[in-house]
Amino acid sequence: MSVGVVGLGYVGLPLAVAFAEAGVDVVGIDVDSDRVARLNAGSSPVEDISDERLAAVADRFSFSVDYDAVSSSEAVIICVPTPLSNKREPDLSYLLGAAEQLAAVLTAGQLIALESTTYPGTTREQLVPILERSGLEAGTDFNVAFSPERIDPGRTDFTVETTPKVVGGLTPACTDRAAALYEQVTTEVVRVGTPEVAELTKLLENIFRSVNIALVNELAQLCDRMSIDVWEVVDAAATKPFGFMRFEPGPGMGGHCLPVDPFYLSFKAREHDFYTEFIELAGKTNQAQPAWCAQKVGEALNTVGMAVRGARVCVLGVSYKAGVGDMRESPALKIIEHLRAAGAEVSYFDPHVPRLESQGLTSLAQPPGDDDCDCACIVTAHADVDYEALVAGGTLVVDFRGVTRHLDAENVVLLGRGDRRP
């Protein structure tokens, strides 16, 4: 069997490797010629896939920028980005471009599976009509299904194999075909009735997280004003064995899904004269969090008699989550912009991100000491940083992740606690 994977990023490459490890021949397609050249040379551009793992299945792989390479594949899986435009509306240009390329090489009997996150109706209303320009009929001459990606970069406990795969086909036969495909690489396939159900399933999963993150971030701001320790509140609430799921406050949301997915549903809802005010409010709250965090840095500096302007501030961790170098929608970028706009001299340390091109900054070689900065703010708490040593050095620390909350230190300011008492 041969499977084509279009888009070889954080979603597509791990999936392609999983199929190769299952004994399937894989053709990888990407419009980035440098990425393709790197993969053909045996070098992985994705942190979750090591060069060694790639080399172990090299005989099952080929990579190309040419869609003709997947014309003989029994199934083709689309894993291209679906970002937001500058107006915070869905940008399907990568998806539609891939569909047009596939339509030119589509052959009877193929399965086309879409994994890119999108709004309900995209598979049926956008993808299928383009594919049918081939002269073939979807559901009759070829199969179509939507199966949302559920990749969480950096995780080792839930992988392609161990995360249940939701599948919704254009027809029952399409669902059966897609389920049979994914059963080769995952332990559980969850069948749903339509592509629209599968599309909305992915949005619900991430909107659930977005809303709850917004809730706890708003609570953190209230606790800050009331001088109540939000971390102690969350710890206590989490002891309830039912009816509560733990979410922690932080500097805002990042990544390829959480900051984007709610807007996909809001966009589609407006087509039906429905306004998802609850979802949009959560998005607004989360987008405002980095500005509030930058304000907290200024307030912390004031407590030691310093202004933001001219202060040396070091940001610890700039990727959107711990353990990876992924910068997509990272709240650290906005925090840096706010601090610089206020006149701070900003540096950063992140072992996973050697350079911030957009900011013209290069990571420090090691975490800052008291002589290196006036304030260190923990934005992303990478596990390979000694935060106790940082605090013990006497540097003013503003902690947006709560990793220092158990330390008895007067030089620590915690998000959502309202004072500097440990």
Residues catalogued as catalytic:
257
Is residue 401 within 8 A of residue 416, CB to CB? The reply is no
Distance of alpha carbon 253 from alpha carbon 290, whole angstroms: 9
Q: For the chain, give the number of residues.
A: 422
Distance of alpha carbon 290 from alpha carbon 292, whole angstroms: 5
How far does CA 371 lie from the centroid of its chain? 35
Type of residue found at 72 = S
Q: Copy the structure tokens of residue 39.
A: 């993969």
Q: Which residues are CB-neighbours of 150 under 8 A, at least 6 positions away?
A: 158, 163, 164, 165, 166, 202, 205
Is residue 159 within 8 A of residue 11, CB to CB? The reply is no
How far does CA 279 lie from the centroid of its chain? 18
Q: In what order do the strands lie in the sheet with 312-316?
A: 345-349, 312-316, 375-378, 396-399, 412-414
Task: Tell me how many helices (H) and strands (E) the chain has.
Answer: 13, 15
Comparing CA positions, the residue from 200, 178, 197, 199 lying closest to residue 189 is 178
Is residue 167 within 8 A of residue 145, CB to CB? The reply is yes
Comparing CA positions, the residue from 270, 340, 257, 342 lying closest to residue 307 is 342
Comparing CA positions, the residue from 9, 82, 15, 80 lying closest to residue 47 is 9
Residue carrying structure tokens 């030691």? 304
Distance of alpha carbon 246 from alpha carbon 76, whole angstroms: 38
